[in-house]
Amino acid sequence: MRHGNKINHLGRKYAHRKAMLSNMGVSLLIHKRIVTTVAKAKELRMYIEPIINRSKVDNTHNRRQVFALLQDKEAVNELFTNIAGKVATRNGGYTRILKIAETRVGDNAETAYIELVDYNENMLKTAKSETKKRSRRGSGKTEKKAVAAETKTEAVADDTAAEKE
């Protein structure tokens, strides 16, 4: 029984698993998004989030600690210069796992994207849409009046523009 064993060993010895997670972490930091299996993505998230959290304070000690885990100067530099600025205000949850409907051809493993949250332009909430709070009673009347008023002012503006020409 495996009571209390929370680490997924991914069918590898310790050194192989450590090297694989390090390489995947470097690829994630450089490319901002990678495709892998769901199990590896979940393990990579547990591995990379403390590293990204450490990058918020840019000092020599933190850089050395991160380099000891990643073993790649380019990835460490990218992390501390570009990524740290974007995640400075975030309190965790730096990565997102998106499952893909496709499975891997060789072994039919479930695949997923793992990406840095602040780098996916499609999912960023830059501008909130101005939706009014809706209730079940009387919500349609006020919206219809507001739309009618807007179209009326637009029509008046079009008429005045036509008169000036």
* Same-domain pairing of 23 and 76: yes
- How many structural domains does the chain have? 2
Alpha carbon distances (Å) from 30 to 21, 42, 116, 152: 14, 19, 10, 52
Q: 155 and 95, same structural domain?
A: no
Task: Verify that 70 and 150 share a domain, yes or no.
Answer: no
Q: Is the confidence at residue 141, as pLDDT, over 70?
A: no
Domain annotation covers residue 124: no
Q: Let me know whether 51 and 82 are in one domain.
A: yes
Asked if residue 1 belongs to a domain, the reply is no
Asked whether residue 6 is assigned to any structural domain, the reply reads no
Do 149 and 109 fall within a single domain? no
Note whether residue 142 is domain-resident. Answer: yes
**Three-state DSSP state, 3:** coil
Q: Range of 156's domain?
A: 134-165
Q: Is residue 52 part of a domain?
A: yes
In the 8-state DSSP scheme, what is residue 133?
Answer: P
Least confident among 67-76, 94-103, 146-155: 146-155
**75-103 exposure pattern, b = at least 16 Cβ within 10 A, e = fewer:** bbebbbeebbeebeeeeeebbbeeeeeee
Tell me, yes or no, whether 93 and 64 share the same domain: yes
CB 10 within 8 A of CB 39: yes
Residue 85 pLDDT grade (very low, low, confident, very high; cuts 50, 70, 90)? very high
- With a pLDDT cut of 70, the percent of the chain lying above it is 76
In this structure, the answer to whether residues 109 and 153 fall within a common structural domain is no
Q: What is the DSSP string of 65-83?
A: HHHHHH--HHHHHHIIIII
Note the pLDDT of residue 162. Answer: 60
Q: What are phi and psi of 111, to 5 degrees?
A: -110, 160
CATH number of the domain to which 82 belongs: 3.90.1030.10
Give CA–CA dist 94/119, Å, rounded.
10
Mean pLDDT of 42-58: 97
